[in-house]
Amino acid sequence: MWDPAAQAFRLNNPGTTVFTEDCNVLLKLVMSGEKTNSLGQKLPQKGDVEMLCGGPPCQGFSGMNRFNSRTYSKFKNSLVVSYL
């Protein structure tokens, strides 16, 4: 996520937690029992999450991306599966 957008969301929604890392990294941390991420943010535990807000990475789904069949784009496209 673009950091200025994350910061704007935080300012407009006090009390929310905004994670900007790759969802695969966050999922792995939570599943391994970690309590915080590399930025020191408290990771949600079972029963803590009220809402998830996210979407697919634009690059892999954009018709303007001439390289959407390359390995990196395919990986980025798979992030939506981890999110779900």
Q: Which of 7, 12, 19, 36 is nearest to 82 (CA)?
A: 19
Distance CA 24, CA 30 (A): 10
- Is 23 among the residues known to form the active site? no
Q: Tell me which of 1, 8, 25, 58 is the catalytic residue.
A: 58
Question: Rounded to the nearest 5 degrees, what angle is found at the Cα of 83, between the Cα atoms of 69 and 52?
Answer: 140
Catalytically active residues are: 58
